[in-house]
């Protein structure tokens, strides 16, 4: 990383004064160290200070899902479908489940620095254990790994998520049940977010976010749990792809 930044500085003939980074987990605003990282070696470390010293620049950190949400709010899908959106909820549904909240163009971090940790709310009591120490977190249910595990438990066959989606389009009842379960739990969990934050736009990235049925069934999955008679929140795929986090990290020091 330092080598990359040094080479960029040489080409630009200018050292960066500030650099934004997207990270797993978050920086504890009280203690100044990383926490809740699934890359557990980072937990307890003053990552921003270490990077600042190494790179001789101001360093601003944010959770990678916050960076994703910020990018899609300012430059991507949310900006496109509703330019004046007050609240944008950005979700990364991949190996895990992360999310970020953008209000009036700014990331919401919260008192503990955990705003947007949607994936670590218990949705299935007595469900599968999560690395965070709880069981039945949303992350264990609708992440790619969670969907693959459920399919295996039902069928006895290990398949990747793309293979499960492909089989669901055919006559594989276990694959169809896996995606139906995904939509069901997504609907419950998304309705809880809408009831609390009432976002204008929800943007879904990550491998699970590529599954078309998620969008096709979102309305019917969310509405039974919504404290409103109709659903006007727009639920869309991202525009920026894998680059979203990079744009969001840059926006931290814009």
User: How confident is the model at residue 186, as a pLDDT?
Assistant: 98
- R_g over Cα of the chain: 19
Residues in the chain with pLDDT < 70? none
Residues 201-210 pLDDT 10s: 999 999 999 9
User: How confident is the model at residue 39, as a pLDDT?
Assistant: 85
User: How confident is the model at residue 129, as a pLDDT?
Assistant: 96
Q: Which strands, in side-by-side order, build the sheet including 87-93?
A: 106-107, 97-103, 87-93, 201-205, 234-236
User: How confident is the model at residue 38, as a pLDDT?
Assistant: 81
How many Å apart are CA 208 and CA 216, to the nearest integer?
A: 13
User: How confident is the model at residue 1, as a pLDDT?
Assistant: 81
User: How confident is the model at residue 26, as a pLDDT?
Assistant: 93
User: How confident is the model at residue 156, as a pLDDT?
Assistant: 98
User: How confident is the model at residue 130, as a pLDDT?
Assistant: 93
User: How confident is the model at residue 94, as a pLDDT?
Assistant: 93
Supply the DSSP symbol for 216: H
Which runs of E-coded beta strand occur in 179-246? 201-205, 234-236
How many Å apart are CA 213 and CA 182, to the nearest integer?
A: 10
Are 142 and 152 spatial neighbours (Cβ–Cβ below 8 Å)? no
* Element at 21 (helix H, strand E): strand 18-23
**Quick check: helix, strand or coil at residue 75?**
coil
Sign, CA torsion 242/145/23/117: positive
User: How confident is the model at residue 218, as a pLDDT?
Assistant: 96
Helical pair 173-197 and 144-155, crossing angle rounded to 10 deg: 140
**Quick check: helix, strand or coil at residue 139?**
helix
The distance in angstroms from the start CA to the end CA of the chain is 20
């Amino acid at each position: 990383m330092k080598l990359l930044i040094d080479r960029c500085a040489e080409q630009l003939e200018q050292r960066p004064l500030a650099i934004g980074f997207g990270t797993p987990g978050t920086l504890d605003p009280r203690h100044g160290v990383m926490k809740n990282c699934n890359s557990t070696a980072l937990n307890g470390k003053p990552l921003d200070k270490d990077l600042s010293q190494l790179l001789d620049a101001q360093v601003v950190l944010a959770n990678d899902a916050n960076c994703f949400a910020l990018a899609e709010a300012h430059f991507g899908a949310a900006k496109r479908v509703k330019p004046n959106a007050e609240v944008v909820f950005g979700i990364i549904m991949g190996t895990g489940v992360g999310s970020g909240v953008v209000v009036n163009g700014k990331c919401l971090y919260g008192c503990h620095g955990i705003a947007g940790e949607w994936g670590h709310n218990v949705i299935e009591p007595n469900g599968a254990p999560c690395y965070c120490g709880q069981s039945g977190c949303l992350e264990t249910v609708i992440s790619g790994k969670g969907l693959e595990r459920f399919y295996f438990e039902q069928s006895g066959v290990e398949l990747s998520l793309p293979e499960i989606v492909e089989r669901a389009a055919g006559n594989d009842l276990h694959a169809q049940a896996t995606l139906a379960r995904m939509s069901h739990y997504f609907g419950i969990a998304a309705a809880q977010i809408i009831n609390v934050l009432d976002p204008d736009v929800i943007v879904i990235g990550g491998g699970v976010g590529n599954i078309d049925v998620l969008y096709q069934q979102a309305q019917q999955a969310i509405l039974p749990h919504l404290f409103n008679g109709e659903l006007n929140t727009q639920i869309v795929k991202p525009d920026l792809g894998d680059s979203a986090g990079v744009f969001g990290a840059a926006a931290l020091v814009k």
